[in-house]
Structure 1
Amino acid sequence: MKSKKSITQSAVDTLGLEAAAILNVAKNINSDFEKVVSGILNCNGRVIVTGIGKSAIIAQKIVATFNSTGTPAIFMHAADAIHGDLGMIQQNDIVICLSKSGNTPEIKVLIPLLKTSGNILIGMVGELNSYLAQHADLILNTSVEKEACPHNLAPTTSTTAQLALGDALAICLLECRDFNESDFAKYHPGGALGKKLYLKAGDLALSNEKPHIKRSASVKEVLIEISKNRLGAVAVIDDENQILGVITDGDIRRMLENYTTIENLKAEDIMGKSPKSIQFDALAVEALEIIRQNNITQLLVLQQNTYFGIIHLHDLLKEGIV
């Protein structure tokens, strides 16, 4: 009786086969790939990505990556295309068709219709002698030696190759367009990722109270201001709203340790004179980096040279920036 591999060995073998498939796809990058990138860059329409079965699922992921990185794209299921969805394709669109075999019935019906409409057809295909490869204007070769499936049936390495090549296309297009973080933020306004790209320090500070005192304030006034605003800190400012220092919960503890009597102490006696700060229009993620590097929990926010507010580590946690 044939002995079974361990679970660990099976997983390692699968990943090894899929890694090898990606490396093999990399060897197949040629002038057609460059023409595909150039064609999409110069396209006045959209990229229509189609496929069937597991290839259709990969096509949807490629569309999502294209759209999020500045390349307008639409998914069209190959089976639905021949039942009405062909109407979504416009004259200037480019079509990318994904198929391992390139010979499925739906693909064979779809391709002549695409050729009739005059759209550029790109075949991301694993079989270079297939119907799709023979009729495509450009070919993206995703040939694999074998599937990771021990029966060589379930699409595994072949879909991994498609996915990786789709990512390569998206990144090449991104770099050719000089698509930067600001552009990325436009397409990802929601969630923690979007917030890291657009949320400003001032946005967080505006949600908080603005605790402040003068340098001559008593310890009692300091304690009241800190407790009232629940940020664990208070800014010490002058008459021009410029920051002279900051007093935190930690400064209060150190005061109690260092002084026998506190009745005559003033804010200026216990404040930290070199507080960490950030400009109000800096990204919140930059504030997080300052907080981490300095092992602090509060950060003063400035507008030019004047006091704007305070950010607490909890604000960043609440927004999912951490």
Structure 2
Amino acid sequence: MSPIFSLKIFQNFLFETKKKKMNAVAEVKGRRGVQQKKNEKQNEYKRIGREKKLADDSRCYGNILDLVKRKKVTNWTQTRLVVEGKLGEGLRGIAYKVKHRNTMKCLKLLPLSWTSRNKEALEDLVALRSLKTIKKETPNYLTFFDSFVLTNLPASTQDKLNQLDPQCPATHYLGLLVELGSNSLDNTMLTTAVEGLSIVKQLVLSLVIAKRRLDTNHNDVHPGNVLVKRSASPKTLKYTLDGKVIRIPSHGLVVGIIDFSEASFGRANGNSDVGFLSFITEEISKTLSKAENRTFQTAIDGLTDARSITAIYPNASIFKKH
């Protein structure tokens, strides 16, 4: 075989090999192109799905989604919250002790409905956001950390929440993350009249500040919504009302006011808070001895006759004589 003929065979071999490689590359590119188009189509479907979901979420939970930090529905696993136990239960929600960033906090969960305006949940959220602005003016509102519209809760937690309304189980929940409180007033033993008076003064001042500064009314100040923490410090509690600093002795107790699901803002019926004082004073009286209770009752004489919560300070005798 001549060298020239051998060279042609070799060149043909190289040409065919290169051609096969080019065809193979083209085939791969073709498959990739098809896959890429398929992926783009799938991504477009996903995008449309996400937008539709956001539209649905916004239509159902619009006002709430506008107010929570993330502005969208959050999967439980994204919060890194760990449920440690149940703290309490109301008609519309359940409070849990949770671990968050190595700190124990309280998470209140309220089921959200697709068929209603979620009035109570919205009012709770709005009130907490508003009260955060007066945190330096009163020590009696728990620190508000975060809020979420949550889905895919732990099964046991979701089951308990859905037992609140078995006829209409929820899939989405409002989560309100606040400072961990202490015992409620109806689970607190008091020994002296001055302790009871301290609780009443703290409660009145904080409700008056919220009313005057934010035009906010709690509307559900029963003993279960008033937390009482025993603490050696501070000995004096500081309030700011109408630009004036007010200091009252704590007598070893610090009040925390919770649950704003019945809160109202600037409404004509905003005097209901004063009506709840009778429930508070009755609860305090239960734990006092007869002698201490007589002292307490004398001190609060006429208090529950006030026409509004704002009329109590500074006019009530408890702020003048005690």
The answer to whether TM tops 0.5 is no
TM-score, normalising length: structure 2: 0.21
Structure whose alpha-carbon radius of gyration is higher: 2
Q: Which has the higher strand share?
A: 2
